[in-house]
Structure 1
Amino acid sequence: MNGDKDTNLNLSDLSSALPSAFRTALSARDSAGVVEAIKSKVESLAEQHPVMLDNLAPKVRKRVEALRAIQSQYDDLRAKFFEEKAALEAKYQKLYEPLYIKRYEIVNGVVEVEGVTDEGLTKDAAEEKGVPDFWLTAMRTNEVLAEEIQERDAGALKFLKDIKLCRTDNLKGFKLDFFFDVNPYFKNSLLTKTYQMIDDDDEPVLEKAIGTEIEWYPGKCLTQKVLKKKPRKGSKNSKPITRTENCESFFNFFSPPQFPDDDDDEIDEDTAEHLQNQLEQDYDIGTTIRDKIIPHAVSWKDQKKDTLSFKKTG
């Protein structure tokens, strides 16, 4: 047997052969560098398989070869499954689009729902259009996103007009588009988050995530906070000492964690584990928005009022 398509190796074998720091990162399967390491190990182990087969009794070797042929057929079907699944999702995404457009128009007051009148309303209530804070409310009532949205994020998220899902060209990855009205926080009218996928063992896995750089207006950055400290007594400089540090914010979602681009850059096990956790959390947020928020945004109407709370930052 040769070490090509008919060679089916267990990922646990590959993982054990990698450095410990990369083994930690491997479970997330989110780094292109790790994927390349896996491919190299596949080639190495594949060359050893003929030797392993030679150590078997002739009858057993024949049976194993037959089993590997069956496995190869399964792998082909599995690859076809993911290909057809991606195409089917893309097909229905186009069918959903007219419904999403109607939702956008109602939420943003572009059109009025039949039967809605101004009778008996105050002037302010009559002038109110659409569904205020629709997306902010939808996101806050989801357990995953509620952990990410800080109290100070709410002001900016009130300007969120729509969230759209776009499939990437290869149909495996996806992009999330966040459309914002003109607001006092940042210049961008569109923020995007793209998840690029690659095939690993014929299954799509995350290669990397890319976010939009937010153009914050002066003093409005929500991902950083300014700390002021009084100068020491007797100091010539009487002005407060200020420093800026990163802080928790939903908008960190657009600055996803990245593994080092250079394969020669070594990372220790603790750093790899921290990156893994960040990558898992980031992908969880992205898929939650894709699978829960966009298709079921109005489901917040069934949530209890006590779910509408913010996570405060110090």
Structure 2
Amino acid sequence: NASRRRCVLLPLKMHLNQLVTQSEKEQQEAIEHIDEVQNEIDRLNEQASEEILKVEQKYNKLRQPFFQKRSELIAKIPNFWVTTFVNHPQVSALLGEEDEEALHYLSRVEVTEFEDIKSGYRIDFYFDENPYFENKVLSKEFHLNESGDPSSKSTEIKWKSGKDLTKRSSQTQNKAGRKRQHEEPESFFTWFTDHADAGADELGEVIKDDIWPNPLQYYLVPDMEDEEGEGEEDEEDEEGLEDIDEEGDEDGEEDEEDDGEDGEVIY
């Protein structure tokens, strides 16, 4: 009996081993095919990126005349850029009072992506003659080298005597203590000397990707809010008038009843 069971089980075990081996082989072949397909997908993604880059380069050139025309029109509006920055929720958080005063002399902003786009961009700030610094243009550039390492460089600000807002900001915070430090941000102009994290420069990305494509939407923010506010106030005023009318009618009815009672003649 034992030998008979061995004769039956041995072929069965060998068959099961063959099935397991076959299953593993199929899985291995499937993995190899998946890898081949994935390589094709990656190749197409790379090709798509190259074609998208060419399209973006083409349209960057097509946009330039319109950016130029827009800059000429913006130049006719006093304080356009300082108003735009003050109205932007993220940028306004970086502005101190003296920064705003200095930015009243900001006449033009230009964002230029490098020709190959992927290697970086430059932001130029053009200033009129002002009491703070000698520079007519302040620039900051962001670069991505061939190995993918980010870096940045900027114009050295030539401050006039006693007008260095970056030093003044730090002195004010030191004197005022920790509480004041939370209320008053560092000077906006410290951004030009901050190169610590060029790959994730929040202000640079906000200006390039959010403000520069359509600065008018932030310049007009208060006007739009005022219009909405006026509409709400009108509705509240109408509701208030209705309440007054209703109260007036009720008071009138009560007065008539009182007059009737008071006007009775008793003989």
TM-score strictly above 0.5: yes
Q: Take 2:146 and 2:46, find their aligned partners in 1: how far apart are those partners?
A: 9
SS in 2 for 1:177: strand
Q: Deviations over 1:76-133 (max 9, x none)?
A: 222233333333222222222222222222232xxxxxxxxxxxxxxxxxxxxx2111
What is the identity percentage for the equivalent residue pairs of Structure 1 and Structure 2?
30
What amino acid does structure 2 have at the position aligned with 1:90? Q
> Relative to structure 1, is the Cα distance of residues 146 and 84 closer, same or farther in structure 2, using a 3 angstrom cutoff?
farther
Q: Over aligned residue pairs, what C-alpha RMSD do you find?
A: 3.2
> Relative to structure 1, is the Cα distance of residues 73 and 199 closer, same or farther in structure 2, using a 3 angstrom cutoff?
farther
Structure 1 residue 194 corresponds to structure 2 residue 112: no
Look up the match of 1:122. Answer: none
Number of residue equivalences? 193
Structure 1 residue 171 corresponds to structure 2 residue 117: yes
Structure 1 residue 78 corresponds to structure 2 residue 45: yes
Look up the match of 2:81. Answer: 135
Match runs of 1:104-123 below 5 Å: 104-108=71-75
Look up the match of 2:55. Answer: 88
Look up the match of 1:286. Answer: 204
SS in 2 for 1:210: strand
Contact 2:96 2:186 in 1 (8 A): yes
The structure 1 residue matched to 2:194, chosen from 253, 256, 275, is: 256
Relative contact order (C-alpha < 8 Å, sep 6+): which is higher? 1
Greater fraction of residues in strand: 1
Q: Take 1:206 and 1:175, find their aligned partners in 2: how far apart are those partners?
A: 17
What amino acid does structure 2 have at the position aligned with 1:188? N
Q: Take 1:224 and 1:306, find their aligned partners in 2: how far apart are those partners?
A: 37
**How many angstroms does 1:279 deviate by?**
5.9
> Relative to structure 1, is the Cα distance of residues 72 and 107 closer, same or farther in structure 2, using a 3 angstrom cutoff?
same
> Relative to structure 1, is the Cα distance of residues 157 and 84 closer, same or farther in structure 2, using a 3 angstrom cutoff?
farther
What amino acid does structure 1 have at the position aligned with 2:189? F
**How many angstroms does 1:306 deviate by?**
11
Q: Take 2:210 and 2:193, find their aligned partners in 1: how far apart are those partners?
A: 22
SS in 1 for 2:131: coil
Look up the match of 2:103. Answer: 157
Greater fraction of residues in helix: 2
What amino acid does structure 1 have at the position aligned with 2:113? R
What amino acid does structure 2 have at the position aligned with 1:142? H
After the TM superposition, which segments of 4 or more aligned residues of structure 1 sit over 4 Å from their partners? none
> Relative to structure 1, is the Cα distance of residues 186 and 79 closer, same or farther in structure 2, using a 3 angstrom cutoff?
farther
Q: Take 1:306 and 1:216, find their aligned partners in 2: how far apart are those partners?
A: 37
Look up the match of 1:68. Answer: 35
What amino acid does structure 2 have at the position aligned with 1:298? L
The structure 2 residue matched to 1:59, chosen from 19, 26, 34, is: 26
What amino acid does structure 2 have at the position aligned with 1:185? Y
Q: Take 2:187 and 2:224, find their aligned partners in 1: how far apart are those partners?
A: 21
What amino acid does structure 2 have at the position aligned with 1:151? E
What amino acid does structure 2 have at the position aligned with 1:303? V
Contact 2:142 2:152 in 1 (8 A): yes
Contact 1:176 1:194 in 2 (8 A): yes
SS in 1 for 2:165: coil
> Relative to structure 1, is the Cα distance of residues 183 and 105 closer, same or farther in structure 2, using a 3 angstrom cutoff?
same
Instruction: Give the TM-score normalised by structure 2.
Output: 0.62
Alignment gaps of 5+ in structure 1: 1-55, 109-129, 230-246, 259-274, 308-314
Q: Deviations over 1:9-55 (max 9, x none)?
A: xxxxxxxxxxxxxxxxxxxxxxxxxxxxxxxxxxxxxxxxxxxxxxx
> Relative to structure 1, is the Cα distance of residues 90 and 301 closer, same or farther in structure 2, using a 3 angstrom cutoff?
same
> Relative to structure 1, is the Cα distance of residues 161 and 185 closer, same or farther in structure 2, using a 3 angstrom cutoff?
same
Q: Deviations over 1:56-94 (max 9, x none)?
A: 943322221221222222222222333333332222222
What amino acid does structure 2 have at the position aligned with 1:165? V
What amino acid does structure 2 have at the position aligned with 1:87? K
Contact 1:177 1:193 in 2 (8 A): yes
Q: Take 2:153 and 2:41, find their aligned partners in 1: how far apart are those partners?
A: 33
Alignment gaps of 5+ in structure 2: 1-22, 175-184, 226-267
Structure 1 residue 148 corresponds to structure 2 residue 76: no
**How many angstroms does 1:305 deviate by?**
6.2
**How many angstroms does 1:293 deviate by?**
1.4
Q: Take 1:88 and 1:101, find their aligned partners in 2: how far apart are those partners?
A: 21
Look up the match of 2:128. Answer: 181
**How many angstroms does 1:198 deviate by?**
5.3
The structure 1 residue matched to 2:216, chosen from 298, 304, 308, is: 298
